Amino acid sequence: MIFSIVQILAIFIVPVLIIKYRNFAVSRWIGTIGTAYLLGILVAILIYILNLIGLNIVPNSDIGEIGSHLAIRIAIPLLLFGANLKEARKLSKTVLLSFTSLVISAIVVSAIAFYTYGTTIGFGAELSGMAVGLYTGGTPNLNAIGNIFGLDSTTIGVANLSDMIIGAVFYMFLLLMAKPLLRKFLRGSDSEKYVKESEMIENIETVEKVDLEKFRISKELVNRFFIAFGIAILGAGLGILLWVILGSEDGKMTDLLVPVMMITVTVLGIAVSFNEKVRKTKGMNILGQYFILVFSFALASSLDFTRMQGLFNNILILYGVITIGVFVLHIIISKFLNIDVDCTIVTLTAGVYGPAFVPAITKQIKNDDLTVPGLIIGSLGYAIGTFLGVILGLLFLL
């Protein structure tokens, strides 16, 4: 009982500390989500070692499962509520073509990786579909797709661990070496315009750039939380209804409830984002990111290392190949479409890592004109990544 209480407290308190101390070296390197996974994995490793030496410490798997599932279902609509998708119409042709290049690259490379390697590993189709969502939207899409396909928490956790390892190395490459290398192949960014209209595009909050001292829990923010929670409950209700309609087969309710719930929160999250009053509510992105961190830490801390034999290496290879392949094909298409080097790097960052990583990249390549377009592209990736991944995953399963 005491350990369960400690486990619950840790799941909800650790993410607060990660956000508060987000400027520490580790968080600046691998991001807040990566930090949540890293801390969760360290907890799981510690428990594994203590059990090896004879201490019987068994985390309550229900707490980890329920906490992570509930958190991701609240986080996704909150993140989508603040996604200013209407602003995509102001982006220049260059930015939209570059994002299209990334989407095509993710689909083509994930398909090739699946048919050449993914067919030989467990859950290869689902994991390849998750990669499509990951490299067009980000980690929330990967987890949403994994939940829709009903993968167990260990498989989803290992997928996240593999992405964290590969992503950390690749992000350092983007920061330090990408522009000097790609300037040899792609044209420069001098006098390039990334927006079509002269009026100011609304900025988008991210955990990394917001001043937390000014963050306040307002009545409007609480209302948005309950809207997100209500959407999750509605999705669960629709899943149960579909299960009843299809005959209430024993043991099959979860198989329908989970995917219907995830699709519902995504679709309605996008729909609600077009309400200007909801979209402009301050703090939604912070709250959404907090629940993503809750999900990440809860999932990682409940990893069972006794079940990971063989699984980690296979997924690491699959995602490593896809990451390199997406990068190479995106560069080739960008060259063919005459897209400049800065736009190519920023859209790649927005798709592969999400909006939160864009400001650091635009600062590093010294092109602040791409910060807001990159944030919008990242939000657009959040919106479409889950659908693309599920569709490709289903095709792979045929």
Q: How confident is the model at residue 327, as a pLDDT? A: 95
Dist. CA 360–CA 397, nearest whole Å: 38
Dist. CA 206–CA 289, nearest whole Å: 8
Q: How confident is the model at residue 374, as a pLDDT? A: 87
**194 within domain boundaries:** no
**340 within domain boundaries:** yes
**322 within domain boundaries:** yes
CA distances from 9 to 90, 150, 294 (A): 44, 27, 11
Q: How confident is the model at residue 126, as a pLDDT? A: 96
Dist. CA 267–CA 280, nearest whole Å: 19
397 within 8 A of 97, measured Cβ to Cβ: no
Q: How confident is the model at residue 310, as a pLDDT? A: 67
**247 within domain boundaries:** yes
Dist. CA 210–CA 368, nearest whole Å: 17
Q: How confident is the model at residue 309, as a pLDDT? A: 62
Q: How confident is the model at residue 138, as a pLDDT? A: 85
> Residue 76 is part of which domain span?
2-189+203-397
Dist. CA 363–CA 371, nearest whole Å: 8
**196 within domain boundaries:** no
**157 within domain boundaries:** yes
How does pLDDT run along the chain (398 residues), one tens digit per residue?
A: 677 788 888 888 998 888 888 878 777 777 787 788 888 888 888 888 888 887 777 767 677 777 777 888 888 888 888 777 777 788 889 999 999 999 999 999 999 999 999 999 989 999 999 999 999 988 889 988 998 898 888 888 889 888 888 887 888 888 888 899 999 989 887 767 787 754 444 545 554 444 455 567 788 899 989 999 999 899 889 988 988 888 887 766 776 777 788 888 888 988 998 888 888 888 887 888 888 888 888 888 877 776 666 678 899 999 999 999 999 999 999 999 999 999 999 999 999 888 777 877 888 888 888 888 888 888 888 889 999 999 999 999 98
Q: How confident is the model at residue 215, as a pLDDT? A: 65
Q: How confident is the model at residue 388, as a pLDDT? A: 94
Contacts of 396 (CB under 8 A, 6+ apart): 111, 114, 118, 124, 125, 126, 128, 129
**271 within domain boundaries:** yes
Look-up of token digits 């992503």: 167
**Residue 373: alpha-carbon gap to chain centroid:** 18
Closest CA to 152 of 77, 50, 255, 228: 255
Token pair of 37, please? 């996974």
Q: How many domains does the chain have?
A: 1
**197 within domain boundaries:** no
**Could you read off the pLDDT of 288-346 as tens digits, one per residue?**
888 888 888 888 887 777 666 667 889 999 999 999 999 999 999 999 999 999 999 99
